[in-house]
Every structure is written in structure tokens, then in C-alpha cells.
Amino acid sequence: MTKEKLFKQAFRLKESDCTIISDKESGIVTAVLSIERHRRLLEDYIKEHPQFLYSFEPIVVDDGPEVALLMAEASKKANVGPMAAVAGVLADLAVQDMINTGCKVAVVENGGEVFAISNQPIDIAFAAGDEPLSREMGFRLKEFPLGVATSSGLYSHAFSFGDAEAVTIFSVDAGVADAAATAVANLIKGDDIQNVIRNGIDRALSIVGVKGVFILYRGIVGKAGQIPELIKVNPT
């Protein structure tokens, strides 16, 4: 299949540090407007429900904006706080808005969490701070829709109870992937490396919507489920 010309743009709004890819320039605009709108709605909701921001456990949302409802749903599946899904859900909503306006390629990466719907393969890099694999490998996404999220106890700005170099989750959407990556990364600690990784894999695959998991802990890799093709990437 011949690849179509794609448009790519970086976009940042407060904590949302994004890369947007589309087959249409208008798709970039749509994604930016989506992120701006849903962030504003979420911020307004949090002002009235501050526990949504601070809880490490799922929060019931009976009446709120779509972004809060989706975050609550994803966090419930993984048994973590709703903010664990914020970057992924914002990416999900932006991609859906892009598809609704006619885009055939709609990819939003938000702080390392990715949601992609595409009619051609999409390559993404594996991010694990200063680890050698982080500079050498990535994943080629071929089956869509697909959400990808990575959590780390060593290199991420987000809070984690664990010590994993990286836990990467492949899921039905980025919201579930984001929440699941946090949940699994929280478990990755201790000296029994093989058992720790095995328990992390079991936890990941028990979460509804998770398709595959890739764990890097103390230089040891564990993976299971549906993992996209591993590829080499050019060091930067």
C-alpha cells in the first residue's frame, strides 16, 4: 500500500504535550480544538469535584462531562485513580473527533500515551528514559484502533509506586492503556525479577480491554498478549 502524505504537528497546552498526525491539515486543527475543549471541561469539573484530582482509587461519576466519565470508566477497570487515565482519554477523544470529520489517519500522542486509527502502519518509539532499548527499538502499529501507554517508576513525571523502567500496555483505547499501565507499573518492585514480571503480566491481561503488555524491569524484558511488530529506530 502506498503511504499517503501525512501532516504532523507538536502541540502543548499546560500538562498536555502532544504530537498529532493526520492525513488532513484540518485534522490537526480538529485535534487541537478537541484537546482544548475537553481539558477546559475537565478543569471545570475538578473545581466542583476536587477528589477527582487527588484520589488513588476509582471515583464514581454520575453526572459529568464525557472526559470525566471516560476517565472514571477506564480507572475502574484498572482499579486506579481517574487521573491515571487523563492523557489517554484526551488522546482518545481527539482521535475520535478527527475520525468524525473524515480523517483516515488520526494519531494523537499525549505525554507518551497514544491512540491511533489509521489506514496505514504507524511507527512509534519505545520510551524508557536512558535505557538502551529506549534508543534502539519501537513498535509498528498495523491493527487499529489501538491505544498504547507507558508508565515508569524511574523516568516518568507521573507518580508510581513501582520501580519499573517501563510498562507498556496495548489496549482498545489509550484511556484503558493509560490506567492499566499505571496499575501494572505500581506492582513492579522487588528482587524476584522473574516473579515480579510474571505477576505484572498476569495483572495486565486481567484488565478488560488490554490486548498486550511489554515490561522492562532491571534490564529484563517480559511480554505477553498481542504485541505489535518490534522495529529498530534511529537513535536521536
Q: 11-67 pLDDT, tens per residue?
A: 998 888 999 999 999 999 999 999 999 999 999 999 999 999 999 999 999 889 999
Average pLDDT, the chain: 91
The verdict on residue 50 lying in a domain is yes
Find residue 147's DSSP bridge partners: 115, 171
Residues 141 and 118: their CA atoms lie apart, in Å, by: 9
pLDDT digits (tens, 9 = 90+) for 193-220: 999 999 999 999 999 999 999 999 998 9
Q: Would you state the pLDDT for residue 60?
A: 93
pLDDT top residue among 231 and 1: 231
The verdict on residue 2 lying in a domain is no
The verdict on residue 1 lying in a domain is no
Contact predicate 168/135, CB 8 Å: no
The verdict on residue 39 lying in a domain is yes
78-114 burial: b if 16+ Cβ within 10 Å, else e: bbbbbbbbbbbbbbbbbbbbbbebebebbbbbbbbbb
Domain count, the chain: 1
Q: What CATH number has the domain bearing residue 128?
A: 3.10.520.10
Contacts of 196 (CB under 8 A, 6+ apart): 187, 188, 189, 190, 217
Residues 75 and 114: their CA atoms lie apart, in Å, by: 17
pLDDT digits (tens, 9 = 90+) for 150-164: 988 655 555 567 788
The verdict on residue 63 lying in a domain is yes
Q: Would you state the pLDDT for residue 1?
A: 37
Residues 181 and 77: their CA atoms lie apart, in Å, by: 12
The verdict on residue 73 lying in a domain is yes
Which structural domain range is residue 164 located in? 7-232
pLDDT digits (tens, 9 = 90+) for 82-115: 999 999 999 999 999 999 999 999 999 998 899 9
Residues 76 and 143: their CA atoms lie apart, in Å, by: 26
The verdict on residue 140 lying in a domain is yes
